[in-house]
């Protein structure tokens, strides 16, 4: 089965622009240059988009373990590590999407 290529649609683009505006307003309100730290900007946008499109941008915050690591069995730990790895891969893809969109618009 062929996978479809991921693209920005109007709804995601509007949400992207809203996240940029909100971040800019917040930083200017704090008296800071809003686009001086691109990594923080991109992560803020990714988290904002991840709240609605988790599968495209990753969770706003990675999952925490259900119980302390010291109490996990080897299988539970392996499962947790695999889940965390998959979440981080989606987050990485989400950040790449945000960076590319930002560079294309500004």
What's this model's pTM, rounded to 2 decimal places? 0.80
Say yes or no to pLDDT of 18 above 90.
Answer: yes
Give the whole-angstrom CA distance, residue 58 versus residue 46: 8
What are 56-105's pLDDT values in tens digits?
999 888 778 778 888 989 999 999 999 999 999 999 999 999 999 998 76
């Amino acid at each position: 089965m062929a996978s479809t290529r991921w693209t920005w649609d109007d709804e995601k683009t509007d949400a992207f622009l809203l996240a940029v505006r909100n971040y800019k307003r917040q930083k200017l309100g704090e008296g800071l240059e809003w686009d001086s730290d691109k990594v923080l900007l991109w992560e803020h946008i990714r988290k904002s988009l991840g709240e609605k499109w988790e599968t495209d941008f990753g969770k706003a915050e990675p999952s925490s373990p259900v119980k302390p690591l010291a109490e996990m069995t080897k299988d539970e730990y392996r499962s947790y590590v695999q889940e965390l790895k998959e979440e981080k891969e989606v987050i990485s893809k989400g950040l790449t999407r945000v960076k590319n969109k930002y560079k294309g618009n500004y």
